[in-house]
Amino acid sequence: MVDSGRSVLSSIVASQIDTHRKYGGVVPELASREHLRSIVPVVDEAMLMAGVGWNDLAAVAVTQGPGLIGSLLVGITYAKAIHFAHGVPLIGVNHLEGHIHAVVLEHPGTELPAIALIVSGGHTHLYHVRENFEYELIAKTRDDAAGEAYDKVGKLLGYPYPAGPILDKLAPHGDPRAVKFTRAHMKGNPLDFSFSGLKTAVLRWTEANDIGEETAARRAAGADADWLALTPKRTLDLIASFQHTVIRELLSRLHVLTEAHDAKSIIITGGVACNAGLRAAAGTARLPVPVFFPTPGLSTDNAAMIAAAAFPKLKRGDVADLSLRAKAALAL
């Protein structure tokens, strides 16, 4: 529940990590079933915590896309029911725009125009955010998203899903320059990202260094294992070098883009914005304008950011009706 796009009255997140961990990643059918099971009690709890009733709502906002179609349909169907039963406006929101508004919600001083880097398990996108929240896509990943690369590399090394937070915690214990990775050189748009080659390079390293026994030991450990104790120095060096390379790729474009678009601020958001190494590197990168991150609670997917993104739409009358459709590949 969000008030006026500026303050969070309540934010309830129903995590599905335990459901998907045993499969090493998100299973779409299970995701939609869990979403269906959780959506009513989560909304009820959010309204109770915020101290509001149905008659207090200015609108109901819902993610239209992009995302898993089954989960999108659950959310849209429930939002339509609220719209129909209580007569409140219905607003469809782009998931990526929600991540941008997670920062604006917490940092009202974020000036536009801005350069926004949205980096998560499903997206690695760079946007020029103009005044009035108009968007121009500058670059995106051509294969794996950065968060996806973290999870795949973690799986190669025997860590459980989601592996990104584990690798982030282990990286400071290794030498970030011990393993040399070649940067991807992109044809066409040189600002685009690619992480599949980096993932393949890690695979080749595991084959060359014969780490089968240590990988098996980590796979046999529980989700709350002491990962540092289970990770030898050479693997810590690999992890540190991998993280260093990903962060270098993510930040390398921001300086030139800030100047090219006369941006007044930089937004870094999405699930990977929780990464401590990325936050630290952005703070020391000497970027020419202020850099804003959401707090960890609003970095990963959440409803508050979707509600925040709906307020500008409500103000300009950009509302939907019962014909609103889920769009798995919705562009921003």
DSSP state of 203: H
pLDDT, residue 326, reads 97
Neighbours of 208 (CB within 10 A): 8
- Domain 2-99+298-315, CATH: 3.30.420.40
Which region holds residue 107: left if phi is over 0, alpha if psi is between -120 and 50, else beta?
beta
Domain extent listing, the chain: 2-99+298-315, 110-296
Q: Report the SS3 class of residue 113.
A: coil
User: What percentage of the chain exceeds 70 in pLDDT?
Assistant: 100
> Among 3-12, 13-22, 263-272, where is mean pLDDT lowest?
13-22
User: In degrees to the nearest 10, what's the CA dihedral of 215, 220, 221, 222?
Assistant: 130
Q: Each residue of 104-130: pLDDT tens digit?
A: 999 988 999 999 999 998 899 999 999
pLDDT above 90 (res 279): yes
pLDDT, residue 24, reads 82
pTM: 0.93
For residues 251-256, give the mean pLDDT. Answer: 94
Q: Each residue of 30-50: pLDDT tens digit?
A: 889 999 999 999 999 999 999
pLDDT, residue 16, reads 83
Q: Which residues pair with 127 in a beta bridge?
A: 116, 137
Please indicate whether the domains covering 2-99+298-315 and 110-296 agree at the CATH topology level.
yes
If pLDDT is split at 50, 70 and 90, which confidence band does 3 have? very high
Helix then strand then coil, % of the chain, to nearest 5: 50, 15, 40
pLDDT, residue 96, reads 97
Phi and psi at 2, nearest 5°, equal -130, 140
Cβ-contact 242, 153 below 8 angstroms: yes
If pLDDT is split at 50, 70 and 90, which confidence band does 189 have? very high
Cβ-contact 171, 243 below 8 angstroms: yes
172 is written with which tokens? Answer: 């400071």
pLDDT, residue 319, reads 97
If pLDDT is split at 50, 70 and 90, which confidence band does 12 have? very high
* Closest C-alpha among 87, 144, 177, 91 to residue 272: 144
Residues 311 and 307: their CA atoms lie apart, in Å, by 7
pLDDT, residue 220, reads 93
If pLDDT is split at 50, 70 and 90, which confidence band does 294 have? very high
Q: Whose structure tokens read 């109770």?
A: 48
Residue 155, exposed/middle/buried by CB under 10 A (0-12, 13-18, 19+)?
middle
The CATH classification of domain 110-296, taken from the options 2.102.10.10, 3.30.420.40, 3.40.30.10, 3.40.50.300: 3.30.420.40
Residue 265, exposed/middle/buried by CB under 10 A (0-12, 13-18, 19+)?
buried
pLDDT above 90 (res 224): no
Q: Each residue of 69-96: pLDDT tens digit?
A: 999 999 999 999 999 999 999 999 999 9
pLDDT, residue 223, reads 83
Residues 78 and 36: their CA atoms lie apart, in Å, by 9
If pLDDT is split at 50, 70 and 90, which confidence band does 247 have? very high
pLDDT above 90 (res 136): yes
Is the backbone peptide bond immediately before 290 cis, with ω within 30 degrees of 0? no
